[in-house]
A and B are shown apart, each in its own frame.
Chain A
Amino acid sequence: MRMNGGEVTRDVEPRVLLVHYIRDVLGLTGTHWGCDTSNCGTCVVLMDGEPVKSCTVLAAMAAGHDIRTVEGLANGATLDPVQQGFMEEHGLQCGFCTPGMMLTARALLDRNPDPDDAEIRQAISGQICRCTGYATIVRSVKWAAKNPLGTDSGTGAAEPGDTPATEDVKA
């Protein structure tokens, strides 16, 4: 499969869940998991550009597809406007649901650059946040919609080596 733009190949058991493939096999721990029943959305990644719950996709089923995780959101040192928006508008607290929320927001904005509150709430309605009460997530997505190019300062204190970890996992 393509992972954040890079080709990765691994032999895994058929039963390996995509979320475990991403976390345990590829070592990309930005994707989390929070339930077992595809209710919480903490494990959301983009599959061919659409958000999916990676706890309910087999790694084998994702073979040949394009997967994007939170590690693939920023372009090197420059954060995606969605990432900047979440920092600007306090769209995160514990940070656990945040990667999934941001990826869904990215997919939403790719289809609908100027969503209203109801559209944003609908888009994230399959994902639970226990900390924020959602209003600041809605504001974060709207910030990203208003600032499609982000801001120059929005590098989020990038560190060297903060590029997507695909180099590490190329087979």
Chain B
Amino acid sequence: MTTVSEHAPNPAAGDPSRPIGFGRIQRKEDPRFVRGRGNYVDDIVLPGMLHGAILRAPVAHARLLSIDASEALAHPKVVAVITGKDLEALNLAWAPTLSADVQAVLVTDKVRFQGQEVAFVVAEDRYAARDALELINVDYEFLPPVIDARKALDDGAPVIRDDLPGRTDNHIFDWEAGDAAETDAIFASADVVVAQELVYPRVHPAPMETCGAVADYDTVDGRLTLYETTQAPHAHRTLYAMVAGIPEHKIRVVSPDIGGGFGNKVGIYPGYILAVVGSIVTGKPVKWVEDRSENLMSTSFARDYIMQGEIAATKEGRILALRTNVLADHGAFNATAQPTKNPAGFFHIFTGSYDLAAAHCKVTGVYTNKAPGGVAYACSFRVTEAVYLVERMVDILARKLEMDPAELRLKNFIKPEQFPYANKTGWVYDSGNYEPAMRLSMEMAGYDELRREQKEKRERGELMGIGISFFTETVGAGPRKHFDIVGLGMADGAELRIHPTGKAVVRISVQSQGQGHETTFAQIVAEELGIPPEDIDVVHGDTDQTPFGLGTYGSRSTPVSGGAVAMVSRKVRDKARFIAAAMLETRAEDLEWEKGRWFVKGDPSAGKTISEIALGAHGTLTLPDGVDGNLDAEVTYDPPNLTFPFGAYICVVDIDPGTGHVKVRRFIAVDDCGTRINPMIIEGQVHGGLTDGVGMALMEMISFDEDGNCLSGSFMDYLIPTAMEVPDWETGFTVTPSPHHPIGAKGIGESATVGSPPAVVNAIVDALAPYGVTHMDMPCTPARVWEAMQGRTRPPV
């Protein structure tokens, strides 16, 4: 395999003049994990802890008539049963969502999706809590559900949100970006226009650890400690303070080790709130951990976009414009976790990597009787949908023009000299250099040779496909003047303390779910200050221990918190200069920095290391005016812009013509995430995302029957790739640093999830070209591929 990804050690390793900063080093978090010493939410056991379980609605739409919990309460191990009525009395039956809507914590009036929370049992052990669910009798009056988003706005469609005053339909929002008139004018005169409906099915992040919480409310001092599977502990704390009326300083949210997040653990779920209520009611700690069915049926799904795409071009293959109308299924409550001003997330980056004359998108959000959510699964706030749209449309255009899809892309890329590039929907791309990445991926793939092989195979009736995707991400939200979530600016804090012996602790506001923050952020400090990463502790995931910030999602940790950590390190370095000057009895401006050390210009032997300066700061030295006796600093970093990672992906598939079974034979991924902090971790992030992409393209989907029963409520039916379905990834990279980020890094967490699905689908459609197939929707299961071969492509249900 031509794996260009570096396995080489840090170039600085072994060079004493350049202590290790960036480069491939082992992860600091691994020793505890390989010993089974991680500390996940379900591992937490507190004295006297009780266990909660949620009774969930068996149907999608029904009026709640009555709940009889007397039998459950009579169970000898049951301590409490909480219903919607109980919450109403506490004014907690409804909670605000992250999208200016409300969501029922427990049903009071009406069930709005299958799996919705109806009652909460608190018992002495988890087995008793489960048993007691069967002892609660609920009467429902069944109502017709709205399952198909296309029918949500029909006249006479059942109104799902009759809880909202004056609501007479299922419409949530209309939102648009770009210039419709300008775009329409270009379409009207273009040589070639191609249209295609693209359905991005509902999928689920399904981290291996489900969601859960342990709430511990101290009735004496009114203090709540909440251990939660959350990607955003600070934002959660603020929202709990707003919702539950517990003063914010009395709330401590701890996000311990998290078994994967992928956006599933951004929102506040009823289960978390119920654990808190359970603890307040019983005066004891209460643990609630959902099972897998609850996770798949009730927590944040992703995608569910029906997109009408149109692309306009000249007959020579110059792409002119792109437009789309999107129907967005948001489920029963608008609970998407995204910036307030962006109800469709960052979908309007759908112009992709191309220099267009015009573009316009319109997104309409609707309610349906399905679980709420919508922004999750490593989507970079809906860049997944955007990239899928543009990369499928470009491929469809290439077919129409009978052009090679690589050639068409190369012809239309934004040129390096056009950066910073303002696209037609309001983004300013900070940097990019697309052609080298595209060329590298083609070289690694042996693109021309693959096309030759494909031609030969086609002549023999064999089905082989080559699919390309070239994506541009927009991540690292974001500048506070543009982005907030429920009014909280999307900035992140960092605090750095250098202990007297030169060891350090850096406290960050983002939180790892496996991304390796304890390593990466130590490496940033190491690079900036010359302290070895092993001497730097990274503290995260505990609101009592860390500065405020919005958390880890949308690939924002490195672009935002990484910037904060670099800046706080520089602040320490600047302060160290004054202290070093005092120690060396010289002026600060006479000192020069080399990694790890301030020294006198022209006299390298006269210098002080960070470690020496730290001791000096805490010692008896007389410090200059205005410099206090420590080597600590704190910052809140407000990024000036988002970052725009990009990549070129090539997928090779073989399809069994007799069964429709797709085998992903090869996948070549060239990523550019700017400055690379730890190549090993970057490669790992890419690998994981590529697997997500293969999963979505081939098998993952949350589906429903027409009554609204979720058909994908377990891992028997919500299929995730195993080691057998994915190839040995071939990764490569280019480096185009972000011009505005302190260290030039752009973020990598979601690039591959965003970029890979269209590569796989493009490859499958390419393989099926002999059958006249120009498009098929995901998931490309054997049955659906076979149907496409019979000329019967149909949207997934």
Which residues of A does B touch, CB under 8 Å? 13, 15-16, 20, 23-24, 27-37, 39-40, 42, 69-71, 73-74, 79, 83, 86-88, 90, 92-99, 102, 117, 120-122, 124-138, 156-158, 162
Known contacts A35-B292, A92-B30, A135-B729, A162 near B722 by CB under 8 Å: no
Query: Which chain B residue lies CB-closest to A88?
Result: B26
Give the distance to chain B from A119, nearest Cβ to Cβ, in Å: 11
Give the distance to chain B from A104, nearest Cβ to Cβ, in Å: 11
Known contacts A98-B34, A99-B36, A87 near B715 by CB under 8 Å: no
Query: Which chain B residue lies CB-closest to A16?
Result: B127
Q: Sample 8 A-B pairs with CB under 8 A, ordered by A number.
A: A28-B36, A29-B42, A79-B35, A83-B34, A93-B515, A93-B688, A95-B259, A133-B690
Interface majority SS on B: helix, strand, loop or mixed? Answer: loop
How far does the alpha carbon of A150 sit from the alpha carbon of B516 in the complex, in Å? 24
Known contacts A128-B715, A128-B722, A36 near B35 by CB under 8 Å: no
How far does the alpha carbon of A94 sit from the alpha carbon of B685 in the complex, in Å? 11
Q: Which chain B residues border A102 with CB–CB below 8 Å? A: 34
Q: Give the contacts of B749-780 with A (CB-CB under 8 A).
A: none
| Inter-chain contact A97/B208, CB cutoff 8 Å | yes
How far does the alpha carbon of A68 sit from the alpha carbon of B728 in the complex, in Å? 30
Closest 6 CB pairs between A and B?
Answer: A30-B36, A94-B514, A96-B259, A133-B687, A95-B33, A70-B36
Known contacts A40-B715, A134-B691, A79 near B37 by CB under 8 Å: no
| Inter-chain contact A93/B516, CB cutoff 8 Å | yes
Q: Which chain A residues border B32 with CB–CB below 8 Å? A: 95
Given A102-B34, A130-B720, A136-B687; 11 other pairs, CB 8 A cutoff: A16-B127, A74-B35, A83-B35, A90-B27, A96-B259, A124-B723, A125-B724, A130-B206, A130-B260, A133-B726, A156-B35
How far does the alpha carbon of A70 sit from the alpha carbon of B35 in the complex, in Å? 6
Interface majority SS on A: helix, strand, loop or mixed? Answer: loop
| Inter-chain contact A87/B34, CB cutoff 8 Å | yes
Give the distance to chain A from B286, nearest Cβ to Cβ, in Å: 16
The 8 A CB mask of B669-710 against A (1 = contact, 0 = none) is: 000000000001101101111111000000000000000000
Give the distance to chain A from B642, nearest Cβ to Cβ, in Å: 24
Known contacts A90-B684, A94-B258, A37 near B714 by CB under 8 Å: yes
Give the distance to chain A from B27, nearest Cβ to Cβ, in Å: 7
| Inter-chain contact A132/B687, CB cutoff 8 Å | yes
Query: Which chain B residue lies CB-closest to A40?
Result: B715
Query: Which chain B residue lies CB-closest to A13?
Result: B127
| Inter-chain contact B690/A92, CB cutoff 8 Å | no
How far does the alpha carbon of A37 sit from the alpha carbon of B262 in the complex, in Å? 22
Q: Which chain B residues border A16 with CB–CB below 8 Å? A: 127
From B126, B260, B292, A96 is in contact (CB under 8 Å) with: B260
Give the distance to chain A from B652, nearest Cβ to Cβ, in Å: 16
Q: Which chain A residues border B681 with CB–CB below 8 Å? A: 90
Q: Is B716 an interface residue (CB 8 A)?
A: yes
Q: Give the contacts of B441-484 with A (CB-CB under 8 A).
A: none
Q: Is B207 an interface residue (CB 8 A)?
A: yes
Q: Which chain B residues border A24 with CB–CB below 8 Å? A: 126
Q: Which chain B residues border A32 with CB–CB below 8 Å? A: 40, 42, 208-209, 259
| Inter-chain contact A94/B208, CB cutoff 8 Å | yes
Query: Which chain B residue lies CB-closest to A127?
Result: B722
Q: Which chain A residues border B257 with CB–CB below 8 Å? A: 94-95
Q: Is B420 an interface residue (CB 8 A)?
A: no
| Inter-chain contact A93/B514, CB cutoff 8 Å | yes
Q: Give the contacts of B37-87 with A (CB-CB under 8 A).
A: 37-40, 42-43, 45
Q: Is B431 an interface residue (CB 8 A)?
A: no
Query: Which chain B residue lies CB-closest to A80?
Result: B34
Give the distance to chain A from B627, nearest Cβ to Cβ, in Å: 36
Which residues of B does A touch, CB under 8 Å? 26-27, 29-40, 42-43, 45, 126-127, 206-210, 257-260, 262, 291-293, 513-516, 680-681, 683-684, 686-692, 714-716, 720, 722-724, 726, 728-729
Query: Which chain A residue lies CB-closest to B34?
Result: A83
From B30, B513, B686, A87 is in contact (CB under 8 Å) with: B30
How far does the alpha carbon of A30 sit from the alpha carbon of B35 in the complex, in Å? 7
Give the distance to chain A from B503, nearest Cβ to Cβ, in Å: 15
From A37, A74, A79, B292 is in contact (CB under 8 Å) with: A37
From B31, B39, B206, A156 is in contact (CB under 8 Å) with: B31
Give the distance to chain A from B129, nearest Cβ to Cβ, in Å: 13
Q: Which chain A residues border B259 with CB–CB below 8 Å? A: 32, 34, 94-96
Q: Which chain B residues border A30 with CB–CB below 8 Å? A: 35-38
| Inter-chain contact B127/A40, CB cutoff 8 Å | no
Give the distance to chain A from B561, nearest Cβ to Cβ, in Å: 18
Q: Which chain A residues border B40 with CB–CB below 8 Å? A: 29, 32, 96
| Inter-chain contact A138/B723, CB cutoff 8 Å | yes
Q: Which chain B residues border A135 with CB–CB below 8 Å? A: 687, 726, 728-729
Give the distance to chain A from B691, nearest Cβ to Cβ, in Å: 4
Q: In the complex, which of the residues B259, B514, B681 has the most CB atoms of chain A within 10 Å of its own CB atom? A: B259
Query: Which chain A residue lies CB-closest to B680?
Result: A90
How far does the alpha carbon of A117 sit from the alpha carbon of B728 in the complex, in Å? 9
Q: Which chain B residues border A97 with CB–CB below 8 Å? A: 208
Q: Which chain A residues border B260 with CB–CB below 8 Å? A: 93-94, 96, 130-131
From A15, A31, A37, A125, B36 is in contact (CB under 8 Å) with: A31
How far does the alpha carbon of A3 sit from the alpha carbon of B504 in the complex, in Å? 40
How far does the alpha carbon of A135 sit from the alpha carbon of B725 in the complex, in Å? 11
| Inter-chain contact A36/B688, CB cutoff 8 Å | no
Known contacts A122-B724, A126-B722, A127-B722, A34 near B31 by CB under 8 Å: no
How far does the alpha carbon of A30 sit from the alpha carbon of B37 in the complex, in Å? 6
Give the distance to chain A from B334, nearest Cβ to Cβ, in Å: 27
| Inter-chain contact B684/A132, CB cutoff 8 Å | yes
| Inter-chain contact B715/A39, CB cutoff 8 Å | yes
How far does the alpha carbon of A122 sit from the alpha carbon of B513 in the complex, in Å? 27
From A90, A126, A130, A158, B208 is in contact (CB under 8 Å) with: A130
From B33, B38, B684, A136 is in contact (CB under 8 Å) with: B684
How far does the alpha carbon of A71 sit from the alpha carbon of B36 in the complex, in Å? 6
Query: Which chain A residue lies CB-closest to B294?
Result: A36
Q: Which chain B residues border A157 with CB–CB below 8 Å? A: 31
Q: Which chain A residues border B34 with CB–CB below 8 Å? A: 70, 73, 79, 83, 86-87, 92, 95, 98, 102, 156
From B37, B684, B690, B720, A93 is in contact (CB under 8 Å) with: B684
How far does the alpha carbon of A125 sit from the alpha carbon of B724 in the complex, in Å? 6
How far does the alpha carbon of A97 sit from the alpha carbon of B259 in the complex, in Å? 8
Q: Which chain A residues border B683 with CB–CB below 8 Å? A: 90, 136
From A39, A86, A98, A156, B714 is in contact (CB under 8 Å) with: A39
From A125, A131, A162, B723 is in contact (CB under 8 Å) with: A125
| Inter-chain contact B720/A36, CB cutoff 8 Å | no
| Inter-chain contact B514/A125, CB cutoff 8 Å | no
Query: Which chain A residue lies CB-closest to B715?
Result: A39
| Inter-chain contact B208/A121, CB cutoff 8 Å | no
How far does the alpha carbon of A73 sit from the alpha carbon of B291 in the complex, in Å? 28
| Inter-chain contact B37/A162, CB cutoff 8 Å | yes
Query: Which chain B residue lies CB-closest to A34?
Result: B208
Known contacts A40-B715, A42-B208, A29 near B36 by CB under 8 Å: yes
Q: Which chain A residues border B207 with CB–CB below 8 Å? A: 94, 96, 130
Query: Which chain B residue lies CB-closest to A124?
Result: B723
How far does the alpha carbon of A157 sit from the alpha carbon of B27 in the complex, in Å? 12
How far does the alpha carbon of A15 sit from the alpha carbon of B720 in the complex, in Å? 29
How far does the alpha carbon of A125 sit from the alpha carbon of B260 in the complex, in Å? 19
Give the distance to chain A from B331, nearest Cβ to Cβ, in Å: 22
Q: Which chain A residues border B38 with CB–CB below 8 Å? A: 30, 95-96
Give the distance to chain B from A154, nearest Cβ to Cβ, in Å: 10
Q: Which chain A residues border B27 with CB–CB below 8 Å? A: 87, 90
How far does the alpha carbon of A30 sit from the alpha carbon of B515 in the complex, in Å? 20
How far does the alpha carbon of A76 sit from the alpha carbon of B11 in the complex, in Å? 34
| Inter-chain contact B35/A121, CB cutoff 8 Å | no
| Inter-chain contact B36/A94, CB cutoff 8 Å | no
How far does the alpha carbon of A118 sit from the alpha carbon of B209 in the complex, in Å? 27
Q: Which chain B residues border A136 with CB–CB below 8 Å? A: 683-684, 687
Query: Which chain A residue lies CB-closest to B289?
Result: A33
Give the distance to chain B from A94, nearest Cβ to Cβ, in Å: 3
